[in-house]
Structure 1
């Protein structure tokens, strides 16, 4: 495992920026260990709901965690609004950084993640496969 601290800047799309960072590292598996910062737009999909809900305003990221791969994501976020109300759920595309997002990634070069149908859950779930080290088994 290799850790990678990153800082996202105003107006960056949270998921898009993380996708670019993962692609730039050449990795196929990573976890977001933690994230804090702020958003001007949060798009959050609540449990059991098919569509994301959009929140706008001065939003503080209280937590950000999940798994990343080139073919699927599972990110959860909690945010607080200017009145201190807390909302959380699945990160959807369109979360826009307001001032900063400080994120700690754990890159896992010895693994490959994919999302594949799971008969038991009925959803695409995480599948973890080992990756052979360069130059041998």
Structure 2
């Protein structure tokens, strides 16, 4: 596994920058290995809700996990507020970095992730393809 690391600056969009970083690698499959930082806006889609919720304030990123593909990222985030209350769900566009977001991404050789539509779930779902060395 190869890795890429970056630091996001105040005001940057966490998901947009994560997808940009991954796209620039040209990799076919990846995952979020680590992320620590803070947000002023957290946009999260909660379980079994069709729409996202935008939260304003100061939040610590206590967890970010996800699968990265050329078709886009599927990430979940947990953030805590100033009293330690923690909330989490699906990471959406619009999460704005407060002071920093330090991110490490793993790049998986020999694998390509795609997200074809799955009629059973109604969502684009992960498909894993093993690549031949000449296809990488």
The residue aligned with 2:75 is 75
- What's the offset of the Cα at 1:117? 2.3
Give the match's secondary structure for 2:84.
coil
Q: Which residue of 2 aligns with 1:131?
A: 131
Matches within 5 A, 1:24-35: 24-35=24-35
Is 1:36 aligned to residue 36 of structure 2? yes
Q: Which residue of 1 aligns with 2:23?
A: 23
8 Å Cα contact 1:44-1:54 kept in structure 2: yes
- Structure 2 residue 99 is the aligned partner of structure 1 residue 99: yes
1:52-108 deviation digits (Å, cap 9, x = unpaired): 100111110000001011213210000001121111000011111111111121011
TM-score, scaled relative to structure 1: 0.91
Q: Which residue of 1 aligns with 2:52?
A: 52
Of residues 20-29 and 92-101 in structure 1, the stretch that sits farther from structure 2 once superposed is 20-29
Q: Secondary structure of 1:121's match?
A: coil
Listed as ranges, the gaps of 5+ residues in structure 1 are none
Q: Is the 8 A contact 1:3 1:106 kept in 2?
A: yes
Contact persistence 2:19–2:72 (CA under 8 A): no
CA-CA distance at 1:5 after TM superposition? 2.2
Report the RMSD for the aligned CA atoms in angstroms. 1.7
Give the unaligned 5+ runs of structure 2: none
1:110 lines up with 2:97 in the alignment: no
Query: What does the per-residue CA deviation read over 1:3-49, in whole Å, with 9 as the maximum and x for residues that have no partner?
Result: 22221111110111111111211112110022111001110000000
Cα drift, residue 120 of structure 1: 3.8
Task: Please report how far the alpha carbon of residue 119 of structure 1 lies from its aligned counterpart in structure 2 after TM superposition.
Answer: 4.2
